[in-house]
Amino acid sequence: MPTQHVDLPQGTLDLLILRTLALGPQHGWGISERVQQISSDVLRIQQGSLYPALHRLERKGWIKPRWGTSENNRRAKFYELTKSGRRQLEVEEDAWKKLTAAVAQVLGTA
């Protein structure tokens, strides 16, 4: 149902991608499936934003691509987290936690 989906706030896509890749190398489709799965279908990543984001993160050197074979034996482009990507993930997780806590606090008191 459309109402179940929540639009991704600005800047969270990178965080989700990095977090997903922290679990292990994954291809683009896998990433979007995983996010959807873990978020119980609440979060859906549009391909239109996913792939530009992947290429952007690759350019920043936080993830790096590797061609491999998918579960169903297809050639697929896997992405894995680099060292600087791991650091970046920590930074972004930290920032996100602070943000949500602060927002929750405001919502709770107001």
- CB 23 to other proteins: min, Å: 18
What does the binding site for other proteins look like in residue numbers (CB under 8 A)? Answer: 27-29, 33, 46-48, 51-53, 55-56, 58-59, 61, 70, 72, 74-77
- CB 100 to other proteins: min, Å: 27
Measured CA to CA, the distance from residue 42 to residue 106 in angstroms comes to 23
Nearer of residues 64 and 86 to other proteins, judged by Cβ: 64
**Which of 24, 16, 90 lies closest to 54 in space, CA to CA?**
16
- CB 107 to other proteins: min, Å: 33
Nearer of residues 57 and 81 to other proteins, judged by Cβ: 57
Helix, strand, or coil (residue 62): coil
Nearer of residues 9 and 61 to other proteins, judged by Cβ: 61
Instruction: Name the strand (E) or helix (H) holding 81.
Output: strand 75-81
Cβ pair 13, 45 in contact under 8 A: yes
DSSP symbol at 42: S
